[in-house]
Amino acid sequence: MTALSTHVLAPAAGGLLRSLAAAGAPIKAPSIDYKGLSPLLIVFAVALVGVGVEAFAPPRLRRPLQIPLAMGGFIAALVAVVLLHSRRQIIAVGAVALDGPALFLEGSILILAMGALLLLAERSTDSTGGALVASPAALPGSPEAGALLLSRETTTEAYPLMVFSVGGMMLFAASNTLLVMFVALEILSLPLYLMAGLARRRRLVSQEAAMKYFLLGAFASAFFVYGLALLYGFAGSVQLSAIHDAVAQTGKNDTYLFLGMALLTVGLLFKIGAVPFHAWTPDVYQGSPTPVTAFMASGTKVAAFGALLRVFYVAFGTSRWDWRPFMWVIAILTMVVGAVLAITQSDVKRMLAYSSIAHAGFILVGVTAANNDGLAGSLFYLLTYGLTIIGAFAVVGLVRDGAGEANHLARWAGLGKRAPFIAGSFAFFLFAMAGIPLTSGFIGKFAIFSAAISGHALGLVVVAVVTSAVTAFFYARVVVLMFFTEPAADGPTVALPSGYTAGALGLGLASTLVLGVLPGSVLDLAHNAAQFVR
Amino acid sequence: MTFAAPGGFPWLTVLGAIPLLGALLLALIPAGRDEFVKRLALAVSLVVLGFAVAMSLAYDTHKAGFQFVENHSWIRQFGVHYALGADGIALVLIDLVAVLTPVVVLASWRDADPSADGVTGVLRNRFGLGSVRAFFALLLSLETMLVGVFGATDIFLFYVFFEAMLIPMYFLIGSFGGPQRSYASMKFLLYSLFGGLLMLAAVIGLYVASAHELGHGTFALAQLTKLHLSHQVQDALFLGFFIAFAIKAPLWPFHTWLPDAGAESPIGAAVLLVGVLDKVGTFGFIRYCIPLFPAASKTFAPYVIALAVVGVIYGALVAMAQRDLKRLVSYTSVAHFGFIAMGVFAFTSQGGTGAVLYMVNHGLSTGALFLVVGFLVARSGSRNIDDHGGLAKPAPLLGGAFLLAGLSSLALPGLSTFVSEFLVLVGTFTRYGAAAIVATTGIVLAALYVLIAYQRTMQGPLKAGLEAVKDLSAREVFVIAPVLTLIVVLGFYPKPLLDVITPSVQATYQLAHRGDPAPVAASPPPLAAGAQK
């Protein structure tokens, strides 16, 4: 029993452990590698300090304190990740992995979070003071809510919420037991459910998004936990390596394994927005405040794919012949449905949502390759796609009219005439997502497709290639709208960005171009990182 | 494939870098200095031309294989190299780019003038990037990519240029084209992207195959041509490359985007699109399909020849039925691309040499036709043949230019196109007699569509409303005269080009282990020879 409890519960329930120890023989306290955990610890500490700021600092000081605090935390955590770059081991009593993929993904999440934070901090584009509403509980349509629309007040709780979520994302990608993974899933999700409902304008849509995301997310979490329980029944442990060993043994009852694997996968596929678990994506992307959408589209995707990769490569690596056909089907469905439905969209955020579904499908192609090249390609793709999509959402946040963001695509007609630089940037991001050479999107696609072909998945790559052509159609259609169409008389204006949005946009542009022309160093990082520890 | 040792002066890099730098410079010039922009663009394109001439003089015709070789590691993780080099085939096509670009810049002089809006429908400078400097910056960046696409000897690098060059052309058509420009630019982009992505799958397949055989993946043409691929793999990869090139070229039945793109492009872009950019497709046949997949090329050659012959007849027939002058020229190109593909896949050195020469000549002759049509449309404001008539009287120079360009399109003896068409037909006849005979009727049809168009626009009574039409201006003469001169000179003296092209074509076919068939008369059947003993 004690052996089991250290195995299963130690990371989550230290108190229980101590009470058990008091009852029986003395148990040595587990040694925790605090240095190895330092990126996570820094982020969570900053989040807690952020909560303290909300509680004690006067309102006018909160924003000036929260932004540098969060940014400083991300930078410090990134430095910690860099300092740990050569470590390859399991730490914290088997709970957290410190290996190449974990460090690469943690670094990616931190960089993407910095970009998203810059967008969140922007308040000069909207004359009323930012994308977030001051009091989200006000009833939409009530006089109170109307006053809020015009007030200069804003929410600063979003910053610690975001930092918590970033911590959850990092832990999600690094957790080595399913239990910690579940805890991380909740830490990353709960703040996002709240943040989805914070949009200053279109309050009802925003609240609907939050509600939908919460309900479906809770449902997915339930699937995850049920799968976890069945896998525990199968392997007698929630450690990924123990599950791996149990899979390798013959004579076990496979029913639990496959049922558990399926249910667990449902939970993970929900988070990455894979078909048929994608239905929430367009509504939530559309309703959330644009900076939050950018954060979800980049960070959540990286974290969820990190967890998916770890589960499938570490725990289920030896049974890949069982799950690969299943993942093939999911990948094909995700690419095709995402690309085809994106064609019919008339809202830019919904279009980007469906396009992100199609891109999840592309990354799944790399996952199904089930080799180191596939892993390295997926890591590279996740980082570059995240940076590109942050840039794209930065542009979405800038194109505005009297009612806030002008998200209807028809309103973007002739934008190239009004704001050639902004429209040109958006076109560049779209071409990157379409995989045109000299952008990071092309290198990412190339890395993933070549891994899949060397993993004998030629058919999958042909589908992916045809889907890429379909995605190019709706990306190019936006370019046609912006550049080849007559501007509408009362078209939207492009807000002059402050340094925040300009920084995020610059980050997106520079990374998309540089990683498309000289991707060598980051490819090296991804290749060196592409080995899980068990 | 033989390659000279890398090192020496980086001719191709510099040649590609000059227009790119020019394009960046143009983009930095503040708005409102349009005259300066045009002059700078012309100067840059002339510098490139001078440089290309110098490079051609430095090319050693006595050496087969690739010269001006450059090789630097680019993306080490994938084994990608920045590798350039030119054999005779690439050299003549790069020269074609260098010749046509200044012509196009000069031809677009007025088109790019915002005040010249209205009747021309050629360039309506109202939208988006639609500024004069954007137009010329896009033209020059296109030139860079064309140099790169012909000069690349690393398939990854080739693919990068192959796809990236779509973007400037997409903007040239979409921002500066005719009334249907959105539709045409979209169609152009999607067709090309679809083909390009199939090719990407094939490129990756080839890379993975090279990794299996060599132990390390490579994109270097020199190594890939030495691979031992199984027949099934060759067939699959061949199709991936072939469809991309057939769309680009375009070969029947992949051609439907060309009439739209050709008709809606501004004249300058149309010249570059049909004259040079589409040549990447036929260039790809001979540079990539045949050396990389010799067995598959042999398997598919009869089918390709069949498509090509259909294209020759179909393109000519449809061209005859066109009322829109720009669509007419586009359809004639479908027929001409049929001839080129036929020559390439006939696997004879005459056919191949003829096809490469045809690529150059077609660039000149179709370029000339598009330019003349552009002059015509600028005067009458209409692309419809029926709106013209009797124009040779008020504008004899224009009429003469039209006639000469048209005659070169129908391959009149004495003009350069005759040499290439003759070579292609002779080269095809020795292997595919029936196909050559059917394709020959295409020449008759070509005479019909050219002469009918000429007759209806230039001869007969002068159409009402066109009395005030002026003849070619000095600038327009400067635009068209060099092209027509080249057509005539190369018609009488094609030797310099043939000297450059022939060894490279022969080397390519040797890679495919397929020499010329022996002449029929010189090879008595072995049985008969034995019987005589």
Residues B318 and B322: their CA atoms lie apart, in Å, by 7
The verdict on a CB contact (< 8 Å) between B128 and A442 is no
- Alpha helices for A90-177 (secondary structure H): 100-121, 143-150, 158-174
CB < 8 Å from B in window 500-529 of A = 519-520, 523-524, 527
The verdict on whether omega for the bond into residue A39 sits within 30 degrees of 0, i.e. cis, is no
C-alpha count within 13 angstroms, C-beta hemisphere, residue B202? 27
User: Given this model, what pLDDT does residue A335 score?
Assistant: 95
The verdict on a CB contact (< 8 Å) between B204 and A523 is no
The verdict on a CB contact (< 8 Å) between A484 and B129 is no
Residues A167-177 have a mean pLDDT of: 95
User: Given CB atoms, is A148 within the 8 Å cutoff of chain B?
Assistant: no
The verdict on a CB contact (< 8 Å) between B77 and A423 is no
Asked if B270 and B173 touch (Cβ cutoff 8 Å), the reply is no
User: Given CB atoms, is B208 within the 8 Å cutoff of chain A?
Assistant: yes
Taking CA A133 as the corner, what is the angle to CA A129 and CA A137, rounded to the nearest 5 degrees?
Answer: 160
Residues B304 and B297: their CA atoms lie apart, in Å, by 9
The verdict on a CB contact (< 8 Å) between B200 and A472 is no
Most confident range (mean pLDDT) of A228-242, A244-258, B502-516 is: A228-242
- In tens, the pLDDT along A96-116 reads 999 999 999 999 999 999 999
**What is the overall mean pLDDT for chain B?**
87
**Neighboring chain B residues of A465 at a CB cutoff of 8 Å:** 197-198, 200-201
> Model confidence at A354, in pLDDT bands (50, 70, 90)?
very high
CA distance A523 to chain B (A): 7
Strand pairing class (A399-401; A89-91): unpaired
Tell me if the pTM is above 0.90. Answer: yes
Q: How many other C-beta atoms lie within 10 A of the C-beta of residue B228?
A: 8
Residues A152 and B170: their CA atoms lie apart, in Å, by 44
Which are the contacts of A433, defined by CB distance < 8 A and separation ≥ 6? Answer: A355, A359, A385, A388, A389, A392, A441, A471, A475
**Neighboring chain B residues of A446 at a CB cutoff of 8 Å:** 78, 200, 204
**Neighboring chain A residues of B174 at a CB cutoff of 8 Å:** 479-480, 483-484
Q: Work out the percent of chain A whose per-residue pLDDT is above 70.
A: 94
**Neighboring chain B residues of A486 at a CB cutoff of 8 Å:** 126-127
Of B81-85, B114-118, B460-464, which gets the smallest average pLDDT?
Answer: B114-118
Nearest Cα neighbor of A176 from A89, A234, A248 is: A89
Residues B51-73 have a mean pLDDT of: 90
Residues A298 and A291: their CA atoms lie apart, in Å, by 11
DSSP notation for B484-523: HHHHHHHHH--HHHHHHHHHHHHHHHHHTT--PPPPTTT-
Nearest Cα neighbor of A512 from A444, A464, A453 is: A444
Instruction: Identify the residue among A426, A482, A484, A494 best suited for mutation to test binding to B, counting B beta carbons within 10 A and taking the highest.
Output: A484
Residues A119 and B219: their CA atoms lie apart, in Å, by 41
- In tens, the pLDDT along A277-296 reads 999 999 999 999 999 999 99
User: Angle, nearest 10°, between helix axes A348-369 and A458-484?
Assistant: 160
Residue appearing with tokens 């048209």: B406
The verdict on a CB contact (< 8 Å) between A472 and B174 is no
Higher per-residue confidence, A433 vs B381: A433
Give the torsion sign (CA, B348, B349, B350, B351).
positive
Q: Find how far residue B228's CA is from the centre of its chain.
A: 31
C-alpha count within 13 angstroms, C-beta hemisphere, residue A257? 25
- What's A480-504 look like in SS3? HHHHHCCCCCCCCEECCCCHHHHHH
**Neighboring chain A residues of B175 at a CB cutoff of 8 Å:** 483-484
**Neighboring chain B residues of A483 at a CB cutoff of 8 Å:** 127-129, 171, 174-175
Asked if A527 and A376 touch (Cβ cutoff 8 Å), the reply is yes
CA distance B190 to chain A (A): 7
The verdict on a CB contact (< 8 Å) between A453 and B208 is yes
User: Given this model, what pLDDT does residue A342 score?
Assistant: 94
CB-nearest to B175 from A453, A483, A527 is A483
* The two three-digit tokens of residue B391, written as one number: 């124009």
User: Given CB atoms, is B189 within the 8 Å cutoff of chain A?
Assistant: yes
Check whether B310 has a pLDDT greater than 90: yes
* The two three-digit tokens of residue B243, written as one number: 């469809």
**Neighboring chain B residues of A469 at a CB cutoff of 8 Å:** 190, 193-194, 197
Residues A113 and B222: their CA atoms lie apart, in Å, by 45
Question: How many beta-carbon pairs under 8 angstroms link A with B?
Answer: 111
Q: How far is CA B126 from CA A479, A486, B32, in A?
A: 16, 8, 14
- Alpha helices for B59-177 (secondary structure H): 88-107, 132-151, 155-164, 166-176
* The two three-digit tokens of residue A390, written as one number: 């942050």
- In tens, the pLDDT along B190-233 reads 999 999 999 999 999 999 999 988 888 899 998 898 888 889 99
DSSP notation for A506-525: HHHHHHHHHHHH--HHHHHH
Nearest Cα neighbor of A30 from A12, A6, A8 is: A6
Q: How many residues does chain A have?
A: 534
> Model confidence at A128, in pLDDT bands (50, 70, 90)?
low
User: Given CB atoms, is B198 within the 8 Å cutoff of chain A?
Assistant: yes
Beta bridge partners of B72: B82
Residues A237 and A251: their CA atoms lie apart, in Å, by 17
CB-nearest to A416 from B129, B205, B211 is B129
CB-nearest to B193 from A424, A450, A472 is A472
Which are the contacts of A269, defined by CB distance < 8 A and separation ≥ 6? Answer: A277, A308, A330
User: Given CB atoms, is A421 within the 8 Å cutoff of chain B?
Assistant: no
Residues A3 and A27: their CA atoms lie apart, in Å, by 11
Residue appearing with tokens 């087969």: B64
Q: In this structure, which amino acid lies at residue A251?
A: G
Residues A246 and A257: their CA atoms lie apart, in Å, by 9
CB < 8 Å from B in window 456-485 of A = 458, 461-462, 465-466, 468-469, 472-473, 476-477, 479-480, 482-485
Task: For residue A86, report the phi and psi dihedrals to the nearest 5 degrees.
Answer: -95, 0
Residues A117 and A159: their CA atoms lie apart, in Å, by 8
Task: For residue B294, report the phi and psi dihedrals to the nearest 5 degrees.
Answer: -60, -40
Higher per-residue confidence, A178 vs A456: A178
User: Given CB atoms, is A215 within the 8 Å cutoff of chain B?
Assistant: no
Beta bridge partners of B3: B66
User: Angle, nearest 10°, between helix axes A499-517 and A440-454?
Assistant: 50
User: Given this model, what pLDDT does residue B53 score?
Assistant: 95
**Neighboring chain A residues of B127 at a CB cutoff of 8 Å:** 414, 416-417, 483-487
C-alpha count within 13 angstroms, C-beta hemisphere, residue B23? 20
